[in-house]
Structure 1
Amino acid sequence: MAVDLRQVMAAFLTFSMFIMLGNMIKKDHIDPLLEPLPDTPRVQYDVLKISKPGMVKLSEVKYGPWKDNDEAPRPCWKKPTFKGKEHSNGYIFFSLTHGPEFHASQIANAVLIARQLGATLALPDIRGTKLGEKRRFVEIYNVDKFIASLNGVVRVDKNPPAESSNEKKLHIVRVPNRVSEDYIASNIKPIFQSKRNLKIVTYFNSSPKIMEKENHQSNAYQCLATFESLKLQHDLQELADSMVGTLRSLSAKMNGRFIAIDLRVEMLGKKSFHETDAENKKCFNAEEIGEFLKKIGFHTDTTIYLTQTGWHSSLNALRNVFPNTFTKDAIMPADEKAKFMDLESNGYEKFIDYYMCAQGDVFIPAFPSRFYGGVVGERISLGKTQIFVPGKKASESATDYIPPYIAKKGHFAHSCFC
């Protein structure tokens, strides 16, 4: 049978085109996943993205002191309700300040004070680190869920009358963290009866040692406000959940588990966190964290999330031992990064870090801080009590590094859950 050279050439060219297409796909989509991580690690987000963190199904493999999460504890409080006809005697104003680790306490104080005084709670704004810098509550938190969570407890007004909210005319009252009912009755109520509208400012003890000794008593209003009222607004919540899902999809050998570490380079230089006695050292750098994780049994394939924004060369020591170490920059989609991490949106990353540390299967603070205490409270409410505090002890047992917050139930949250 005669062979048509034109058909042979056409077949050859078609075959060649398929080979070229295959090489292009391999180069663009397969090879990048096989290359070692660069100094600033990034992941192929579009390849790894999953719809929900809980959808990952992985084989049961354990490489380290992992434990299953406890069942979420039952709240010890019963949601209180108004008795009789609702009426308002005035307004309580306040602002959320400093960062997410302070906000639940500020909300709890405001709710308890408004409840005790029969006042209406004005929706707060959120103040930034610079003078005059502030943003609306709705930019960070879900307003509808906030109001719904407090329904029947206090009235919340999104738009109080202008004459009531004039800051120049408002009387300011400073109150301690987790203010008591007796304090409100003796120190705030007389002023409120005279002024009718107040702005409250919550002050906190700054020393980590004092923080551990703060009043751990609570009541239903403070518990409810602390653990039920603040939820991230939809877009921010969706982004944070997708980042959790990405980390879980990267953690195949760990059954979808990952460690969240509060490690920020700028905090490591603060002398107030360091002790002169090496044995009592409280602040640990990336290299020391890596040594600690190896000592208590975590495998080098463990996936780690760091709260550091942007990669820093000092973190290489940790990534050399644990290659699957990421910052938020590496696992956030480019379009979301432009929205939530540009210069104009400074501050969103704090809320992302707070959520990621609360959701991690293990949480490790590199230094003592209010952030650490706040995250622990969130984790207790979720039943995620696997927390280790690094130390210079010789022990290789992870249980020797469980903080008193958990081991001795020394955290305020334990008084809210059974």
Structure 2
Amino acid sequence: MAVDPRQVLAGVLTLTMFVMLGNMIKRDHFDSARPTVHDTNKASEHGLASVAKGADGPWKEDGLTLKPCWQKPVLEETEESQGYVTFSLTNGPEYHVSQIADAVVVARYLRATLVVPDIRGSKPGDKMNFQDVYDVEKFIASLDGVVKVVKSQPSEISARNLAVVKVPNRVTQEYISENIETVFRTKGNIRLVTYFPSVNMKKNKEKTSSDSIACLAMFGTLEPQTEVREVLDSMVDRLKTVSKKSNGQFVAVDLRIDILEKKGCHKNGGSGSKSCYGPQEIALFLKKIGFDKDTTVYVTQTKWHSSLDALKDFFPKTYTKESIMPMENKDKFLNSDTSEFEKVIDYYICSESDVFVPAISGLFYANAAGRRISSGRTQILVPENIPSSSAAPEEFISHYVSKKNHFAYSCFC
């Protein structure tokens, strides 16, 4: 059987990326400088979540609604593009967002035609069409006038005229000019593989000419397709229904046992910060900042694990996807051979919950925070081991919000 060289090379690059991501899990930590917001009125003025007083306890009101402060770039009239940019989405929606942004920035700079990506999982042969998960029509329409987009790779593109190019996340125009443009002009078509030197999403000190393109790509192109959206809505409605004592509000915690069990996850870095927190630590954190036993907690762990009992002992209304997803949807979204649907569900529920607690540092936290900021949901509480019996929740607001240093603040004003 003939082997497609581009698949071999792409596979090697993808494997390399998985190794890098594993290493980043070990060394990535939450910001050790805990932001403290003592004046809640001042916090509200700056778009932070303000602490609700009285019976509402630690629940917070949403921050100020922000508006896009970028203008949609218009593609100048030029001769028809003779080249294509192809790529795949990998590792889950938190990576998809960044991979889309990089591909759009590259295609725009090269005046190339962007091919709608497929979606690939971690297992060999684990492949889905873009439209299986996302709204492909919205994706194409959102980029109209920015880059040319086609739904499928033209048949004339072959391994002989397709160069695989590694691209750092948040690619710059300088990098494209120095490392990609010559290859594209020579080959005519390129396949991008994004790697992640860093998993933080802090904004640049100075805005760049490609920021508006990246803003549009990150926050204006990806939405779940109709069936996925309906499942998400039904799950969120279920969580709100069981949260009557907290006015329909619930907490979403990114807490996945497989990540927690990885070597080095709980080790302190040089600054003393931690990269993740276990179920019992999260339970104590939520309790000490004022959440009571009637609080509804959603965790991103798909199926129940015995270690979650420590969280459920404090908060009986703790749920996983398995416990709140409609029965008729479980075969497709939970019991299929791919985990892509599970990842998408987690990402969007954590982006839309009333409070988000990232028990694990990394890109999921960073890009979920960005989506929350863009929609005014700034109640992002970064956990910490609290030595005293109680603490004010506003002391644990994510630095992405308290310092307004997330890239989203370059996109929304």
| TM-score category, normalised to shorter length | 0.7 to 0.9
Gaps of 5+ in 2: 1-52
Q: Match for 1:255 among 240, 247, 268?
A: 247
Residue matched to 2:13: none
CA offset at residue 97 of structure 1?
0.9
Write out per-residue CA displacement over residues 348-372 of structure 1, whole angstroms, 9 at most, x where no aligned residue.
1010000000011000011212111
1:401 aligns with 2:404: no
Query: Is 1:312 matched up with 2:305?
Result: yes
Cα contact 1:281–1:392 (8 A) shared by 2: no
Question: Does 215-224 or 137-146 show the bigger shift?
Answer: 215-224
Task: Assess if the C-alpha contact under 8 Å between 1:280 and 1:392 holds in 2.
Answer: no
Select the residue among 257, 267, 271 that pairs with 1:265. 257
| Kept in 2: contact 1:173–1:199 (CA 8 A) | yes
Verify the 8 A CA contact 1:61 1:253 in the aligned structure 2.
no
Partner residue in 2 for 1:6: none
Match of residue 367 from structure 1: 360
Which residue of structure 2 aligns with residue 196 of structure 1? Answer: 188
**Which residue of structure 1 lines up, in the alignment, with residue 341 of structure 2?**
348
Distance in 2 of aligned mates of 1:300 and 1:366: 19
Matched, 1:238 2:233: no
The correspondence for 1:389, drawn from 374, 382, 386, is 382
Q: Is the 8 A contact 2:140 2:149 kept in 1?
A: yes
Change (3 A) 1:182 1:351: same
1:30 equivalent in structure 2: none
What is the aligned partner in structure 1 of residue 285 from structure 2? Answer: 292
Distance 1:254 1:148, change over 3 A: same
**Offset at residue 280 of structure 1 (A):** 3.2
8 Å contact kept, 1:63–1:299: no
Pairwise mapping of residues 323-334 of structure 1 onto structure 2 (< 5 A)?
Answer: 323-334=316-327
**Partner residue of 2:134 out of 135, 141, 155:** 141
Change (3 A) 1:292 1:407: same
What's the CA shift string for 1:81-138, capped at 9, x where partnerless? 1222562131011111111111111111111111111110011111110133211111
* Aligned-pair identity (%): 49
Give the C-alpha shift of residue 394 in structure 1. 3.4
Question: Which structure's CA Rg is the greater one?
Answer: 1
CA distance in structure 2 between the aligned counterparts of 1:390 and 1:70, rounded to whole angstroms:
20
Q: Which residue of 2 aligns with 1:125?
A: 118
1:65 corresponds to which of 55, 58, 81: 58
SS of residue in 2 equivalent to 1:230? coil
Are 2:283 and 2:315, in contact at CA under 8 Å, matched by a contact in 1?
yes
Match of 1:114 in 2: 107
Q: Secondary structure at the match of 2:60?
A: coil
In the alignment, is the contact (CA less than 8 A) between 1:63 and 1:298 conserved in 2? no
Q: Secondary structure at the match of 1:281?
A: coil
Q: How does 1:147-162 map to 2 (within 5 A)?
A: 147-162=140-155
- Letter matched to residue 148 of structure 2: R
Q: Within the alignment, does 1:97 sit opposite 2:90 as a pair?
A: yes
Unaligned segments of structure 1, at least 5 residues? 1-59
Task: Classify the secondary structure of the residue corresponding to 1:372.
Answer: helix
Q: Distance in 2 between matches of 1:63 and 1:213?
A: 32
- The verdict on how the C-alpha distance between 1:300 and 1:167 changes in structure 2, with shifts beyond 3 A counting, is farther
Number of positions where the alignment pairs a residue of Structure 1 with one of Structure 2: 355
**Distance between the aligned counterparts of 1:213 and 1:379, measured in 2?**
15
**Amino acid in structure 1 at the alignment position of 2:385:** K
CA distance in 2, matches of 1:68, 1:416: 22
State TM-score, norm by structure 2.
Answer: 0.82
Deviates more, 1:166-175 or 1:273-282: 273-282
| CA pair 156-212 structure 1, distance change in 2 beyond 3 A | closer
Distance (Å, rounded) in 1 between the aligned partners of 2:142 and 2:363? 25
1:340-397 deviation digits (Å, cap 9, x = unpaired) = 1113343210100000000110000112121111111111111101111111243611
- Taking a change above 3 Å as real, the CA distance of residues 258 and 99 of structure 1, as seen in their structure-2 partners, is same
Offset of residue 273 of structure 1: 2.4
Residue 177, structure 1, aligned to residue 169, structure 2: yes
Structure 2 CA distance, aligned partners of 1:168 and 1:98?
Answer: 28
Greater mean deviation of Cα atoms: 84-93 or 170-179? 84-93
Separation (CA, whole Å) in 1 of partners of 2:338 and 2:263: 29
Q: Name the CA distance, whole Å, in 1 between partners of 2:79 and 2:311.
A: 57
Aligned match for 2:73, one of 44, 66, 80 = 80
- Match for residue 14 of structure 2? none
Taking a change above 3 Å as real, the CA distance of residues 61 and 214 of structure 1, as seen in their structure-2 partners, is closer
Q: Which residue of 1 aligns with 2:213?
A: 221
2:295 and 2:56 map into 1 onto residues whose CA distance is: 8
Distance in structure 2 (CA, Å) of the matches to 1:339 and 1:129: 18
Alignment CA distance shift 1:90-1:276 (3 Å): closer
> Normalising to structure 1: TM-score of the pair?
0.81
Counterpart of 1:378 (choices 365, 371, 377) is 371
AA at the equivalent of 1:240: L
Q: What secondary structure sits across from 2:298 in the alignment?
A: strand
Deviations 1:273-323 (A, max 9, x none): 222479633321111111111100112111110100111111111111111
2:296 is matched with 303
